[in-house]
Amino acid sequence: MAKQAGSHEEWLEQLAEESKRKQEAFMNGIAGKLGHPRMTSAPEHPFRGAPDFWEAFEWPLEERIDRFEDNFKAAGGHVARLLDMEAAKRFIAEKAEVLSAKYVIRQNQPELNELGLEEALAGSGAEVRVWNGEAEENWRARAAESDFGVVVADYAVAYTGSVTVLSSKDKGRSVSLLPTALFVLIPLERLKTRLGEVLRNFDAAGREQLPAGIHFISGPSRSADIENDLTIGVHGPGVVYALLIG
């Protein structure tokens, strides 16, 4: 038994040595192709975080709007600039009429509670449901069968063309993830230049105050297979409207 154990250990050591030799040959090959000596220690990183010039970088409002629109559209989303919340309500009602939407689900947010979306969509025959409006309802299923989801963005980022939606008991993540089409209302005062401006708020709040979910949405859901065949709407809304309000 001792001899067998020793032979087994020797065999493992040989495998380890062979693996190391292959690793060395692989890394040396990469260094040779890059045209510089093999690096054996980690490079120094004298700076941490964003540089000062980036922390101070900020676009004027009109440029933020233009950059957000360009970036969001480049990712396959739609953008409309509207005067106020009343115009946003009319925009959604018109789309419900054109697309024959039957079920609409919205977040239980003060801005949406005051919007009067239910009355605006009544003419088109669409039923509006409010997330967690009834305790016994299966809200995930209601979101999955909905034609439209309607949310108010907590933030938006012009540089990346993204909207930020936080989740809570009144703001289910399913409202933005499961309906066929998503409408995100973005008050212009929530449109920032850089992603860091948004993330800094979460750092300042502290770990205990973080929301249940923080979702960054940049256009419609998209997925590609191993051959890079792109399909829209597989894991979420296939149509996303960002409504810039103000």
Question: Which pLDDT tens digit goes with each residue over 86-125?
Answer: 999 999 999 999 989 999 999 999 999 999 999 999 888 8
| Pair 65, 187 in one domain | yes
| Pair 200, 178 in one domain | yes
pLDDT per position as a tens digit, 135-183: 778 999 999 999 999 999 999 999 999 999 999 999 999 999 999 999 9
Q: How many CA atoms lie within 13 A of 77 on its CB side?
A: 27
| Pair 5, 23 in one domain | yes
Q: How far apart are the C-alpha atoms of 44 and 42, rounded to whole Å? A: 7
As for how many domains the chain has, the answer is: 2
Record the tokens describing residue 99, joined without a space: 């697309």
Residue 32, classed as helix, strand or coil, is helix
pTM > 0.85: yes or no: no
Per the structure, the complete domain to which residue 87 belongs is given by: 52-245
CATH code: domain of residue 223: 3.40.50.10420
| Pair 122, 24 in one domain | no
| Pair 116, 140 in one domain | yes
Q: Which region holds residue 100: left if phi is over 0, alpha if psi is between -120 and 50, else beta?
A: left
* Mean pLDDT score of the chain: 88
